[in-house]
Structure 1
Amino acid sequence: MKPALKLAPFILLGTLAYLGLAVLGWGGFAAFFAHPPLIALTIALFIMAGAALFSGGNLSPGEREDRSNRWVLAIFALIGLLSAWLPAYTDRTEFWTLDGEAVRWSGVVLFVAGGTLRLWPVFVLGHRFSGLVAIQPGHKLVTSGIYGTIRHPSYLGLLIGSLGWALAFRSGVGVLLTALTIPPLLARVRAEEALLLAQFGSDYAAYRARTWRLVPGLY
């Protein structure tokens, strides 16, 4: 599988910026990397960034896009910037923190699990996975594998990974930022499902009837 060369600069620069904001929040490299869980978090972040280069995902509007949903991207970007810096800052200043190294390590585990769940569907869909709500050329409905149970596994992975990042810094504020991600994420889910229903009709309606949006047995 060829690397996503067009997205490579965005992925690499975005990863460096995200980590840089966290290091800045913690007060510098020495302070940040004095914690083994944060070293593990950094390694996981770069491994997932490297994997993303080969996932096949894109930012193409494809053949048909719901442009009215693009506002969600701005909200995600804002929450993302705050999530990169603020949890690290509150960790350093001991503001609304959850005590214990076990919290940090549980955060690392959740970050890895969420990142895996976030990327797995991108590899499954390849070029059909876009950062925009869009129908791609040759788009086909995938209803097997991980998509046989939940319709939006990558979004669930995003939430789990965000929670893991917050807990790695013992940050109550970070947990709140994860919660604030849910409303725009659900707006994106509704827009995506409306587009897929318009594209695939009864096939998607039947698929939707037998699966869950994000959490099996709950939603």
Structure 2
Amino acid sequence: MSPGPKMLLNGLVGLAIYGALSFIPAWTFDYWQAWALLVIMYVVSTCFPALYLMGRNPAALERRLRGGPTEEGRSVQKGVMAGLWLAVGAQFVVSALDHRFGWSRVPTAVCVVGLIVAALGLFVVSLVIIQNSYAAAVVRVEEGQTVVSTGLYGLMRHPMYTGNLLVMVGIPLALGSYWGLIFVILFVGVITVRIRDEEGLLRNELQGYSEYTQKVRYRLVPGVW
């Protein structure tokens, strides 16, 4: 199966998983926030990059399809990815339970803001894949890889993780939960470990990366870190 259709199929599988993590804990399908978030996730993070890159850069799609703890070659990154997956899954479950039991009173306007923030984060991740064909779901340096310093990479060294951070903030708000935001703290801690380890690899194996870090000072959030 070619990368485009494979990514669309994998996106449907992911959609089913996130749907289960939302609707089962909420114990209802009458959950418009979850329906809206799932549609946005599939359209922005799956359909958009798959359809855009299918004919332009199928290799970039192939790299995105290889992800998860088992694909990582470095032990620390295996643990990091497991932690990230756990944080995202737990965030969905806790947010859905919050909806079910009414722990938070989240106004509709805040849910809409959450949907916008999550969509923006997903768009940033998709844009990174377009701007950097070597942006992969695993930490490694590919043969022929060069430093990308334009576009979003001119603002921060790891724009994909910045997009993921926006998604983590947006998901619980979109699902109508304030309690789900606690997993943003876990995400920041885990992603910090990932970035530090990844930069050690890039400095050693990617020519010109050390010079790039001198030009672009911020890793995750411009003006902060």
Q: TM-score, normalised by structure 1?
A: 0.85
Q: Structure 1 regions of 5+ residues with no counterpart?
A: none
1:66 corresponds to: 74
Question: Of 211, 215, 219, which residue of structure 2 is paired with 1:210?
Answer: 215
Q: 1:71 to 1:10 in 2, by over 3 A?
A: farther
Deviation, structure 1 residue 69: 1.9
Q: In the alignment, is the contact (CA less than 8 A) between 1:19 and 1:84 conserved in 2?
A: no
Residue pairs, 1:22-41, within 5 angstroms: 22-29=22-29, 31-32=30-31, 35=32, 37-41=33-37
Question: Of 135, 140, 143, which residue of structure 1 is paired with 2:146?
Answer: 140
2:46 corresponds to: 49
Q: In the alignment, is the contact (CA less than 8 A) between 1:67 and 1:133 conserved in 2?
A: no
Question: Of 126, 132, 135, which residue of structure 2 is paired with 1:119?
Answer: 126
Establish whether residue 171 from structure 1 lines up as the match of residue 168 from structure 2. Answer: no
How many residue pairs get aligned? The number is 209
Residue pairs, 1:63-212, within 5 angstroms: 65-95=73-103, 97-126=104-133, 128-201=134-207, 203-211=208-216, 212=218
Q: Secondary structure at the match of 1:141?
A: coil
2:56 corresponds to: none
- Following TM superposition, the consecutive aligned residue runs of length 4 or more in structure 1 with deviations greater than 6 angstroms are none
- Percent sequence identity over aligned pairs: 23
Give distance in 2, aligned partners of 1:199 and 1:5: 33
Letter in 2 for 1:42: L
Q: Secondary structure at the match of 1:214?
A: coil
Listed one character per residue, the Cα deviations across residues 150-177 of structure 1 (whole Å, up to 9, x for unaligned) are 0111101111111111101231221001
**Deviates further, 49-58 or 172-181:** 49-58
Give distance in 2, aligned partners of 1:169 and 1:68: 31
Q: In the alignment, is the contact (CA less than 8 A) between 2:37 and 2:175 conserved in 1?
A: no
Give distance in 1, aligned partners of 2:139 and 2:9: 22
Give distance in 1, aligned partners of 2:67 and 2:162: 22
Q: In the alignment, is the contact (CA less than 8 A) between 1:66 and 1:195 conserved in 2?
A: no
Give distance in 1, aligned partners of 2:67 and 2:41: 24
CA RMSD across the alignment: 2.3
Deviation, structure 1 residue 60: 7.2
Deviation, structure 1 residue 38: 4.0
Deviation, structure 1 residue 9: 4.5
Letter in 1 for 2:112: W
Letter in 2 for 1:100: P
Listed one character per residue, the Cα deviations across residues 85-123 of structure 1 (whole Å, up to 9, x for unaligned) are 22011122111x143111111101101011111221112
Give distance in 2, aligned partners of 1:129 and 1:5: 20
